[in-house]
């Protein structure tokens, strides 16, 4: 039995997560992401890889989406509507709620702004979402009779989950993206000791061990606070979902704590809708928010208001969250241009910026930017970088492996070089096999599945009664007949097996001759043997039958004189297969001869 | 009909003392197991008298043997346990039967319940080793049962009853003398997690009962740390901790290497590892226990704060390290550039250890945990460890400072308190101070006050630090003016701790200029006062500082020394009249001059016994005035001065009352004049209660005097009543009562009587035989003369005396906006008050609300509403619910705090319960002289409210 997994998308590469797992004859696709970097066919995983010809629905048993980031769910409408898949798609409730918003936004940008054709439509997103089955945390969902899946909390973003996929006693855990340290709005990933055969883990930060979050938070708050006190304006370019909410909560609580009055704005857009869902899915957030939401839902921001274009020119201090996060277009760039000239102001980049964007330029220290129309923009405002990332670092990955105790680990969603390091560490410290397949590569893992067998209670009790008191920690030997019938295994007693199979019982008898030197008459010899056995085998019923034979339980002993040598008597010992133990003991006893002094 | 039956049986029970018969009848009547169960349930609701327990048990047992239904047997078994708990009943007589029932029992549940009963029986017979041995034997026999419940109970029983001393068990029962530890230890590997847990708990139980656990268990327990079940792991952590305390110095090998380490270090490492367990219950447990492992070597201890950072396989410095470096290189707060945290050197991939076996980073993990329970536990542990190790304290500072920004207020508060507790071991770096001070703007008053408290005892290393602290505190002051007192106090300590650091700042702070006169600052500005408090306190131990003061500073000093004497210390200022310096400087060596003054004035009062009445009165009046003034000036003597002043006041009142001419006038004439005397008596009574219950530190010597004064007041009352009432009948009762009180006084304070020569009570006791037999009118006469002749008792002063005070901060009473609410509904009023020197505030402090119509409402705040920010201080934050019928106009209500007392639960009795009189007091019926009352001890605050009529 093997559980194999292949990666059409998320091998040694970040973005375009898509993993195919075949486990005990079931095929499951994990995530269906797109690549942000490409604008052609390469942005979606190569689904033709899955089945060369034939329908996907026939091949795949289910699709599981771990969270709503586009690199994990972006290709879903394309996959289900354009390539064609009608089977079930599983995701958690928050993911199901937020995912279509992001997909729609993505579609708008691609189709409406860039004018691409041959892309999925709004209707397709809706149709696709109809195929989605939402799951709760720790709820075991029976996909079909054998395949079951279960979601665990993963932190990272609202609704992110790790999935355990189980067929029979073989199981795979797919982590998706996860975070082992809690942040201001989400808790830490958690999994029980489920001991899967394979753990598929992301490894974005395979070679990083991060500092505590508190220092970063404190720095961030201090900077914002100082700037606001100076009367400056703070611009924080963010992506609409995920980190933005964390920063909002952070600032909101800080404002509350410190009694600050400066306004905080959030440029609207998707956020409002998404925030609504954040308010609803309180159970998915961290301890503090869950405990206090009765008094006040933390996502009902008191200090954070919707942003209007005109506010940017207002005098006095303010903090503005604006999209997009890399300052390459849109509102954040507009505001940036307005504020860049004043050294009292500050821009805080909370995440990574792609090369070529304004964000990257200012981060690398450029103070003069060439804008479109040959304008030169001088950047006098302070530029700060503050990394708030929600992936597990090397330590976190190790911690999760320690919690789950898998037999094999497979690393995806990371850079090959970094994964190599982590792989080596995992093998060294946990003594488990670790794999890191490239895109399109298939890894086969041999498992050692256990096969459950039904046993009738009667037989179990009978067998358990024999021998020493059962010790649960040790395997125990049992006798019975293994019946393999209609795809099920049963252990039954031999009689029942015969009956069920309609076979006649055959008796197996062993006979053995033992020569004894005894000059006396046959019946005397028999008597001697009888007395001897009676003396030795006190616990057994030894009988002397009138026809001159002896029975010990069901074992028959007869004595005849040797045809040639009358002084030698031949003892014929005969026993059935079931009495093998006693029979062989008897023969060895008789072979030792009779005691001399029995006359 | 059933109902009827029931009633009749109840009646039967009432008339017959024995319950057994009734139960027997009931059980015999029961036709089905369900019926029987019902009877038993009913029976269990009522208590059984000690005498009939045994009979009831017999009947129950009888039914037990007959019963086929397991549920009924189960109930009977549990009843047996309940019954044997009855106080005064010795269950050894039923033990044999109980053990017998075990033999034939088939049901596992019933078996478990029976074992539970045996456990109860065993615990009731603590000094009977043979019974215990037998029970343990029984338990051992059932350890092989297939049900986890039974095994569980067996282990519990062994744990609770197993022999603790080896010697006792040696005798006849040789096979039972088997090592209990081994038996329990064998079940560490049971298949059922519940049994494993029970086994560990039994082991811990044995430890608690004083058995020294064997070290061999350690390795077994270590294996259990990797158990699948959290309750097992949690118990195992505890067991390991116990063992590490028992055998800290033994040596254990490190697996997979040849090295060996101390057991306590090994255990520490293992428990640290559990701080990153999957279950938060275990994490809390582990984090808590870490705090009490103080024998661990410093090397391991410091590892707990260690976390190696890396990025792309290159070593990275933590923010803490960077901050430290910045600080030491002198360019503090340079603002961070991108790439400032860029990774430095490459790391050898082989050397990185991602999962540490030892203590590495345990606290780093614990402090970052997602559950605040774990974080609090980690902070507490950090606190305990840092208190015992100064070097660790220095190291954990960064982490504690980080915790000041936790999202949960409790955690923030806890870490501030922790920092305060370890403050003697640490000096704050400037960047750390900066972070600490940032919290001053917190909107929570608790946090700010805790922080002020912390700053009071913090060591700051540089003058910039002091300046920073001052600036931030002033900022705090402008933002939250209510923090005034707390900030001043904080600056007082800050100044007196760092005189040399304040010195160079003085010109800047006072904005003096070498050539120009600067304008005189506003004396009422709280910020300016704050600066002056800092400077004057620093100047106390820095004689060169006053030279830098300008003229108005000296004037302000004089003013502040007078108005805020508790914040401004006496200074010896050169070239000026000593403002409040001691009269004769040479005695200051031994005693504080004000203390001296106190004693001197008291001596004066006590010595001048035989002055003319007028003179005595005047002297008393002056002394009282002096004392009150002294109390205002010297905060540390305030309690003492007030206490004595009150006492003298009582004496004065008594003297005045006795001096009244009315005593010589014929009875009918002074009917209206007696007002003074009776009022005096009443006031003395009140004052004595205040003296007894409002001061902490009152010793029994003082209590006697107070009681004595009270007795005198009562005598006075009696005399006045006798004079004013016609007829003898009411007097009989009063006299009797008074004599009873004298009697109980004698009984209570018998040991103190020799010290009271010539006092009222002394004389009274001499006359006692006469008093008892004489008529009320005669008694009154005798009392009157004794009262006049008796001498004035010397009040010895205790070491420390503090008056309980309360100050209502919220509501402020300044609002002109009435609190409007619909009549008939309630409105919640937030009350915030500080209490000082109140013992057991949870039990004694009440809130009183007085409505304009005279209606008074007494509110008992919840115990959770009291916080304890420091020794001797409490803070009450509560909500008071107000309601009233509709008014036409807004009106003011009064809110005040009361101190409830009960003269029975006298404080002295709590303090020295061994003294003879408290024992005799216990014998007295409590209602005899238990006077409950309340003392108002805060200024009333007026709140404007307006109940509106409800709209229809």
pLDDT tens-digit profile of B624-633?
888 888 877 7
**What's the Cα-to-Cα distance from A227 to each of A234, A308, A334, B69, B323, rounded to whole Å?**
7, 21, 20, 78, 20
Judged by phi (left if over 0) then psi (alpha if -120 to 50, else beta), residue A487 lies in left
Are the beta carbons of A225 and B438 separated by less than 8 Å? Answer: yes
Name the DSSP letter for residue A270: H
Q: Is residue A142's pLDDT more than 90?
A: yes
- Sequence-distant (6+) residues with CB within 8 A of B591 are none
Are the beta carbons of B368 and A382 separated by less than 8 Å? Answer: no
- The predicted model gives A109-115 an average pLDDT of 77
d(CA B922, CA B931): 15
Are the beta carbons of A212 and B402 separated by less than 8 Å? Answer: yes
Q: What are the chain B neighbours of A190 within 8 Å (beta carbons)?
A: 278
* Residue A54 preceded by cis peptide, ω within 30: no
Structure token digits, residue B718: 């009696």
Q: What are the chain A neighbours of B364 within 8 Å (beta carbons)?
A: 212
Judged by phi (left if over 0) then psi (alpha if -120 to 50, else beta), residue B846 lies in beta
| A325 CA to centre of own chain | 31
Q: Is residue B232's pLDDT more than 70?
A: yes
Closest chain A residue to the Cα of B374, Cα to Cα: A287
- Sequence-distant (6+) residues with CB within 8 A of B779 are B735, B738, B739, B771
Determine the residue among A207, A213, A298, A381 to mutate to test chain B binding: the one whose Cβ has the most chain B Cβ atoms within 10 Å.
Answer: A207
Q: What are the chain B neighbours of A184 within 8 Å (beta carbons)?
A: 407
A92-96, B455-459, B794-798: segment of lowest average pLDDT: B794-798
Half-sphere exposure of A80 (CA within 13 A, CB side): 28
The predicted-structure confidence for A202-249, as pLDDT tens digits, reads as follows 888 888 777 777 777 888 888 899 899 889 999 988 876 777 888 888
Are the beta carbons of B278 and A190 separated by less than 8 Å? Answer: yes
Print the domain residue range for B44. Answer: 19-256
d(CA A7, CA A410): 11
pLDDT at A57: 85
Band of residue A392 on the pLDDT scale cut at 50, 70, 90: confident
Residues B144 and B229 in one domain: yes
Q: What are the chain A neighbours of B355 within 8 Å (beta carbons)?
A: 395, 398-399, 402, 429
| Partner residue opposite A208 with nearest CB, options B310, B403, B408 | B310
Nearest chain B CA: its distance from A8 CA (Å): 26
Are the beta carbons of A209 and B308 separated by less than 8 Å? Answer: yes
Name the DSSP letter for residue B836: E
Q: What are the chain A neighbours of B352 within 8 Å (beta carbons)?
A: 425
Residues B679 and B781 in one domain: yes
Q: Is residue A269's pLDDT more than 80?
A: no
d(CA A366, CA A347): 14
d(CA A185, CA A251): 12
pTM for this structure? 0.75
Band of residue B1 on the pLDDT scale cut at 50, 70, 90: very low
Structure token digits, residue B51: 């005498």
> How many domains, in total, are found in chain B?
5
pLDDT at B10: 41
Is position A564 annotated as part of the catalytic site? no
Q: Let me know if residue B615 belongs to a domain.
A: no
Single out the residue of B41, B67, B51 nearest to residue B19, CA to CA.
B51
Express as a percent the part of chain A with pLDDT over 90. 14
Closest chain A residue to the Cα of B402, Cα to Cα: A214
Beta-strand pair B314-316/B309-311: antiparallel
CB of A163 within 8 A of CB of A66? yes
Name the DSSP letter for residue B252: E
| Partner residue opposite A287 with nearest CB, options B370, B405, B442 | B370
Residues B107 and B148 in one domain: yes
Residues B780 and B817 in one domain: no
The predicted-structure confidence for B289-329, as pLDDT tens digits, reads as follows 998 888 888 888 887 877 666 666 566 666 676 666 655 55
Catalytic-labelled residue, pool A202, A217, A252, A463: A202
Q: What are the chain B neighbours of A465 within 8 Å (beta carbons)?
A: none
Q: Let me know if residue B322 belongs to a domain.
A: no
Determine the residue among A154, A208, A252, A382 to mutate to test chain B binding: the one whose Cβ has the most chain B Cβ atoms within 10 Å.
Answer: A208
pLDDT at B878: 86
- The predicted model gives B397-409 an average pLDDT of 85
Single out the residue of B46, B59, B137 nearest to residue B94, CA to CA.
B59
Distance in angstroms between the alpha carbons of the first and the last residue of chain A: 68
The interaxial angle of helices B372-388 and B390-403, nearest 10 deg, is 150
What SS3 state is found at A385?
strand
The predicted-structure confidence for B670-692, as pLDDT tens digits, reads as follows 555 566 777 888 888 888 888 88
Q: What are the chain A neighbours of B335 within 8 Å (beta carbons)?
A: 382
Single out the residue of B361, B369, B379, B286 nearest to residue A188, CA to CA.
B369
The predicted-structure confidence for B499-536, as pLDDT tens digits, reads as follows 888 888 888 888 777 677 777 788 888 889 999 899 88
| Partner residue opposite A192 with nearest CB, options B278, B309, B438 | B278
Are the beta carbons of B338 and A192 separated by less than 8 Å? Answer: no
B260 beta partners = B253
Name the DSSP letter for residue A192: -
Residues B708 and B852 in one domain: no
| Partner residue opposite B278 with nearest CB, options A225, A403, A473 | A403
d(CA B159, CA B157): 5
Are the beta carbons of B402 and A398 separated by less than 8 Å? Answer: no
Q: What are the chain A neighbours of B441 within 8 Å (beta carbons)?
A: 257-259
Nearest chain B CA: its distance from A209 CA (Å): 5
Q: Let me know if residue B604 belongs to a domain.
A: no
Q: Is residue B469's pLDDT more than 60?
A: yes
**What's the Cα-to-Cα distance from A27 to each of A3, A171, A198, A443, rounded to whole Å?**
10, 13, 15, 14
Closest chain B residue to the Cα of A415, Cα to Cα: B312
pLDDT at A249: 86
Residues B432 and B560 in one domain: yes
Q: Let me know if residue B298 belongs to a domain.
A: yes
Band of residue A276 on the pLDDT scale cut at 50, 70, 90: confident
Distance in angstroms between the alpha carbons of the first and the last residue of chain B: 52
pLDDT at B591: 54
Q: What are the chain A neighbours of B435 within 8 Å (beta carbons)?
A: 218
The predicted-structure confidence for A559-589, as pLDDT tens digits, reads as follows 777 777 777 778 888 888 877 888 888 888 8
Domains of chain A: 2-209+390-446 (3.60.15.10), 213-385 (3.40.50.10890), 454-468+475-501 (no CATH), 509-592 (3.30.310)
Residues B445 and B529 in one domain: yes
Closest chain B residue to the Cα of A471, Cα to Cα: B191
Q: What are the chain B neighbours of A211 within 8 Å (beta carbons)?
A: 307, 309, 316, 318-319
Are the beta carbons of A182 and B369 separated by less than 8 Å? Answer: yes
Judged by phi (left if over 0) then psi (alpha if -120 to 50, else beta), residue A509 lies in beta
**What's the Cα-to-Cα distance from B199 to each of A83, B207, B265, B774, B908, rounded to whole Å?**
60, 12, 25, 74, 47
Element (H, E) at A435: strand A433-435
Query: 3-state SS of chain A: helix, strand, coil percent to 5?
Result: 35, 25, 40
Are the beta carbons of B309 and A214 separated by less than 8 Å? Answer: no
- The predicted model gives A52-70 an average pLDDT of 85
CB of A321 within 8 A of CB of A265? yes
- The predicted model gives A301-320 an average pLDDT of 87
pLDDT at A89: 93
Q: Is residue A165's pLDDT more than 90?
A: yes
Structure token digits, residue B221: 């327990």
Nearest chain A CA: its distance from B494 CA (Å): 24
| Partner residue opposite A181 with nearest CB, options B352, B353, B368 | B368
Q: Let me know if residue B925 belongs to a domain.
A: no
Are the beta carbons of B403 and A214 separated by less than 8 Å? Answer: yes
d(CA B61, CA B70): 14
Q: Let me know if residue B831 belongs to a domain.
A: yes
Are the beta carbons of A211 and B316 separated by less than 8 Å? Answer: yes
pLDDT at B375: 92
Name the DSSP letter for residue A9: S
Most confident of A44-53, A189-198, A321-330, B714-723: A189-198
Instruction: Map B446-509 to HEC letters.
Output: HHHHHHHHHHHCCCECCHHHHHHHHHHHHHHHHHCHHHHHHHHHHHHHHHHHCHHHHHHHHHHH
Q: What are the chain A neighbours of B413 within 8 Å (beta carbons)?
A: none
Band of residue A36 on the pLDDT scale cut at 50, 70, 90: low
The predicted-structure confidence for B770-800, as pLDDT tens digits, reads as follows 777 777 777 777 887 787 777 777 777 777 7
Are the beta carbons of A182 and B405 separated by less than 8 Å? Answer: no
Q: Is residue B392's pLDDT more than 90?
A: no
CB of A29 within 8 A of CB of A61? no
d(CA B399, CA B369): 13
CB of B708 within 8 A of CB of B691? no
Most confident of A96-100, A540-544, B121-125, B707-711: A96-100
| Partner residue opposite A398 with nearest CB, options B144, B354, B406 | B354
* CATH code at position B860: 2.60.40.10
End of a domain among B755, B789, B823? Answer: B789
Q: Let me know if residue B337 belongs to a domain.
A: no
Band of residue B611 on the pLDDT scale cut at 50, 70, 90: low
Q: Is residue B451's pLDDT more than 70?
A: yes
For the beta carbon of residue A429, count every other beta carbon within 10 angstroms: 15
Residues B294 and B227 in one domain: no
d(CA B181, CA B202): 9
| Partner residue opposite A182 with nearest CB, options B310, B370, B444 | B370
CB of B641 within 8 A of CB of B630? yes
Q: Is residue B358's pLDDT more than 60?
A: no
Task: Decide which of B668 and B50 is more confident.
Answer: B50
End of a domain among B789, B823, B854? Answer: B789
pLDDT at B711: 84
d(CA B410, CA B413): 5
Determine the residue among B373, B403, B405 to mutate to test chain A binding: the one whose Cβ has the most chain A Cβ atoms within 10 Å.
Answer: B405
End of a domain among B531, B551, B572? Answer: B572
CB of A234 within 8 A of CB of B422? no
Single out the residue of A95, A71, A94, A75 nearest to residue A85, CA to CA.
A75
Nearest chain A CA: its distance from B275 CA (Å): 12
* CATH code at position B273: 1.25.10.10
Q: Is residue B545's pLDDT more than 60?
A: yes
Determine the residue among B338, B415, B444 to mutate to test chain A binding: the one whose Cβ has the most chain A Cβ atoms within 10 Å.
Answer: B338
Residues B101 and B76 in one domain: yes
The runs of H, that is alpha helices, within A175-268 are: 213-230, 243-258
Q: Let me know if residue B340 belongs to a domain.
A: no
Task: Decide which of B755 and B241 is more confident.
Answer: B241
Express as a percent the part of chain B with pLDDT over 70. 81
pLDDT at B734: 80
Residues B61 and B143 in one domain: yes
- Sequence-distant (6+) residues with CB within 8 A of B350 are none
CB of A137 within 8 A of CB of A92? yes
Closest chain A residue to the Cα of B436, Cα to Cα: A218
- Sequence-distant (6+) residues with CB within 8 A of B755 are B701, B704
Determine the residue among A185, A209, A216 to mutate to test chain B binding: the one whose Cβ has the most chain B Cβ atoms within 10 Å.
Answer: A209
CB burial string B447-456: b at 16+ within 10 A, e below = bbbbbbbbbb
Residues B369 and B400 in one domain: yes
Residues B828 and B940 in one domain: yes
């Amino acid at each position: 039995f093997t559980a194999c997994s292949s990666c059409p998308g998320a091998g040694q590469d970040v973005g375009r997560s898509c993993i195919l797992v075949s486990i005990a004859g079931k095929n499951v696709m994990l995530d269906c992401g797109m690549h942000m970097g490409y604008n052609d066919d390469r942005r979606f995983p190569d689904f033709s890889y899955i089945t060369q010809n034939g329908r996907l629905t026939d091949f795949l048993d289910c699709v599981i989406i771990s969270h709503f980031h586009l690199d994990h769910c972006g290709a879903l409408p394309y996959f289900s509507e354009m390539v064609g898949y009608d089977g079930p798609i599983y995701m958690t409730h928050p993911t199901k709620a937020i995912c279509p918003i992001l997909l729609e936004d993505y579609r708008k940008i691609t189709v409406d702004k860039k004018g691409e054709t041959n892309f999925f439509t709004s209707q397709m997103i809706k149709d696709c979402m109809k195929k989605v089955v939402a799951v709760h945390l720790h709820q075991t969902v029976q996909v079909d009779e054998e395949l079951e899946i279960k979601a665990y909390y993963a932190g990272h973003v609202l609704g992110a989950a790790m999935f355990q996929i189980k067929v029979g006693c073989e199981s795979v855990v797919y982590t998706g993206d996860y975070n082992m340290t809690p942040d201001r709005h989400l808790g830490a990933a958690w999994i029980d000791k489920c001991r899967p055969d394979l753990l598929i883990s992301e490894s974005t930060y395979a070679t990083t061990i991060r500092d505590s979050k508190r220092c970063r938070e404190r720095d961030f708050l201090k900077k914002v606070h100082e700037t606001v006190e100076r009367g400056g304006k703070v611009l924080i370019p963010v992506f609409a979902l995920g980190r933005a909410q964390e920063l909002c909560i952070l600032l909101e609580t800080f404002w509350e704590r410190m009694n600050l009055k400066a306004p905080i704005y959030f440029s609207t857009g998707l956020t409002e809708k998404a925030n609504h869902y954040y308010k609803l899915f309180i159970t998915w957030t961290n301890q503090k928010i869950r405990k206090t939401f009765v008094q006040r839902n933390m996502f009902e921001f008191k200090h954070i208001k919707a942003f209007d274009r005109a506010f940017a020119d207002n005098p006095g201090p303010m903090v503005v969250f604006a999209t997009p996060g890399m300052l390459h277009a849109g509102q954040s760039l507009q505001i940036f241009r307005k504020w860049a000239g004043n050294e009292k102001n500050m821009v805080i980049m909370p995440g990574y910026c792609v090369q070529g964007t304004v964000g990257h330029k200012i981060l690398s220290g450029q103070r003069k930017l060439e804008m479109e129309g040959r304008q030169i923009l001088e950047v006098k405002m302070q530029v700060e970088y503050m990394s708030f990332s929600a992936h597990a670092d090397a330590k976190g990955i190790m911690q999760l492996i320690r919690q789950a105790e898998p037999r094999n680990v497979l690393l995806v969603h990371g850079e090959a070089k970094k994964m190599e390091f982590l792989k080596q560490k995992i093998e060294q410290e946990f003594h488990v096999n670790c794999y890191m397949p490239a895109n399109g590569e298939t890894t086969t893992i041999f498992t050692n599945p256990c096969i459950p067998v039904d046993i009738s209670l009667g037989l179990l009790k009978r067998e358990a009664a024999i021998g020493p008191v059962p010790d649960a920690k040790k395997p125990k030997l049992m006798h019975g007949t293994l019946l393999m019938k209609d795809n099920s295994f049963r252990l039954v007693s031999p009689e029942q097996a015969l009956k069920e199979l309609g076979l006649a019982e055959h008796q197996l008898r062993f006979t053995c001759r033992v020569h004894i030197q005894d000059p006396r008459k046959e019946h005397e010899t028999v008597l001697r043997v009888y007395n001897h056995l009676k003396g030795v085998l006190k616990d057994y019923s030894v009988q002397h039958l009138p026809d001159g034979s002896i029975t010990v339980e069901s074992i028959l002993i007869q004595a005849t004189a040797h045809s040639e040598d009358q002084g030698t008597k031949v003892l014929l010992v005969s026993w059935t297969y079931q009495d093998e133990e006693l029979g062989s003991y008897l023969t060895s006893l008789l072979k030792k001869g009779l005691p001399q002094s029995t006359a | 009909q059933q109902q009827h039956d029931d009633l009749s049986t109840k009646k039967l029970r009432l008339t017959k003392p024995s319950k057994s018969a009734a139960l027997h009848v009931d059980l015999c009547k029961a036709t089905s197991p369900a019926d029987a169960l019902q009877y038993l349930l009913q029976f269990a609701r009522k208590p059984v008298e000690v005498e009939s327990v045994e009979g009831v048990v017999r009947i129950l047992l009888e039914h037990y043997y007959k019963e086929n239904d397991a549920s009924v047997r189960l109930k009977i078994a549990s009843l047996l346990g309940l019954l044997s708990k009855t106080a005064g009943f010795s269950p050894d007589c039923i033990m044999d039967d109980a053990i017998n029932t075990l033999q034939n029992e088939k049901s596992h549940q019933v078996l478990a319940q029976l074992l539970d009963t045996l456990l109860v029986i065993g615990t009731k017979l603590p000094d009977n080793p043979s019974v215990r041995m037998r029970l343990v034997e029984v338990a051992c026999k059932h350890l092989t049962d297939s049900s986890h419940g039974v095994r569980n109970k067996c282990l519990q029983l062994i744990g609770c009853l197993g022999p603790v001393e080896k010697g006792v068990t040696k005798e006849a029962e040789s096979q039972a003398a088997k090592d209990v530890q081994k038996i329990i230890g064998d079940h560490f590997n049971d298949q059922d997690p519940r049994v494993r847990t029970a086994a560990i708990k039994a082991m811990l139980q044995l430890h608690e009962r004083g058995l020294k656990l064997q070290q061999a268990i350690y390795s077994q327990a270590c294996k259990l740390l990797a158990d699948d079940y959290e309750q097992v792991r949690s118990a195992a952590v505890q067991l390991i901790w116990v063992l590490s305390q028992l055998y800290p110095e033994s040596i254990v090998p490190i697996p997979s290497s040849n090295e060996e380490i101390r057991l306590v270090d090994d255990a520490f490492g293992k428990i640290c590892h559990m701080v990153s367990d999957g279950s938060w219950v275990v994490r809390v447990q582990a984090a808590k226990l870490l705090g009490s492992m103080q024998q661990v070597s410093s090397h391991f201890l410091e590892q707990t704060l260690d976390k190696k950072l890396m990025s792309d396989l290159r070593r990275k410095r933590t923010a803490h390290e960077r901050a430290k470096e910045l600080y030491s290189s002198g360019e503090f707060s340079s603002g961070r550039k991108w790439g400032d945290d860029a990774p430095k050197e490459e790391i050898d991939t082989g050397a990185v250890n991602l999962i540490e076996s030892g203590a590495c980073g345990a606290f780093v993990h614990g402090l970052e945990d997602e559950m605040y329970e774990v974080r609090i536990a980690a902070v507490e542990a950090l606190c305990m460890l840092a208190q015992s190790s100064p070097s660790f304290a220095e190291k954990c500072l960064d982490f504690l400072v980080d915790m000041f920004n936790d999202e949960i207020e409790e955690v923030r508060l806890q870490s501030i308190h922790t920092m305060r507790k370890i403050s003697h071991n640490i000096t704050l770096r400037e960047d750390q101070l900066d972070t600490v001070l940032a919290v001053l703007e917190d909107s929570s008053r608790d946090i700010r006050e805790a922080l002020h408290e912390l700053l009071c005892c913090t060591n700051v290393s540089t003058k910039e630090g002091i300046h920073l602290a001052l600036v931030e505190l002033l900022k705090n002051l402008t933002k939250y003016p209510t923090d005034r007192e707390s900030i001043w106090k904080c600056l007082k300590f800050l100044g007196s701790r760092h005189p040399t650091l304040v010195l160079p700042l003085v010109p800047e702070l006072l904005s003096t200029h070498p050539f120009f006169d600067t304008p005189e600052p506003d004396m009422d500005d709280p910020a300016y006062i704050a600066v002056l408090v800092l400077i004057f306190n620093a100047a106390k131990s820095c004689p060169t500082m006053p030279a830098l003061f300008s003229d108005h500073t000296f004037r302000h000093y004089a003013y502040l020394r007078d108005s805020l004497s508790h914040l401004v210390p006496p200074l010896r200022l050169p070239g000026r009249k000593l403002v409040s310096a001691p009269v004769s400087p040479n005695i200051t060596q031994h005693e504080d001059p004000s203390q001296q003054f106190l004693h001197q004035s008291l001596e004066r009062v006590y010595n001048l016994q035989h002055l003319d009445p007028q003179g005595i009165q005047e002297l008393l009046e002056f002394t009282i005035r002096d004392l009150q003034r002294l109390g205002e000036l010297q905060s540390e003597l305030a309690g003492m001065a007030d206490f004595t002043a009150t006492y003298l006041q009582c004496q004065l009142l008594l003297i005045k009352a006795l001096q009244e001419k009315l005593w010589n006038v014929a009875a009918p004439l002074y009917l209206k004049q007696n007002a003074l005397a009776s009022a005096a008596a009443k006031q003395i009574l009140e004052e004595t209660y205040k003296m007894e219950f409002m001061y902490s530190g009152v010793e029994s010597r003082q209590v006697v005097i107070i009681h004595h004064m009270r007795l005198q007041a009562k005598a006075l009352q009696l005399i006045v009543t006798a004079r004013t009432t016609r007829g003898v009948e009411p007097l009989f009762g009063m006299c009797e009562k008074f004599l009873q009180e004298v009697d109980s006084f004698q009984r209570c304070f018998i040991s103190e009587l020799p010290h009271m020569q010539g006092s009222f009570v002394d004389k009274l006791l001499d006359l006692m035989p006469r008093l008892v037999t004489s008529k009320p009118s005669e008694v009154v006469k005798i009392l009157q003369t004794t009262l006049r002749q008796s001498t004035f008792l010397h009040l010895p002063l205790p070491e420390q005396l503090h008056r309980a005070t309360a100050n209502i901060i919220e509501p402020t009473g300044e609002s002109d906006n009435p609190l409007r609410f619909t009549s008939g509904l309630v409105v919640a009023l937030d009350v915030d008050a500080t209490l000082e020197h109140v013992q057991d505030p949870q039990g004694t402090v009440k809130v009183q609300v007085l409505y304009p119509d005279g209606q008074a409402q007494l509110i008992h705040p919840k115990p959770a509403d009291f916080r304890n920010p420091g020794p001797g201080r409490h803070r009450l934050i509560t909500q008071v619910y107000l309601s009233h019928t509709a008014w036409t106009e807004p009106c003011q209500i009064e809110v005040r705090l009361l101190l409830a007392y009960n003269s029975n639960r006298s404080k002295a009795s709590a303090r020295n319960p061994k003294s003879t009189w408290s024992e005799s007091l216990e014998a007295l019926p409590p209602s005899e002289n238990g006077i409950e009352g309340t003392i108002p001890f805060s200024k009333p605050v007026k709140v404007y409210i307006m109940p509106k009529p409800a709209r229809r």
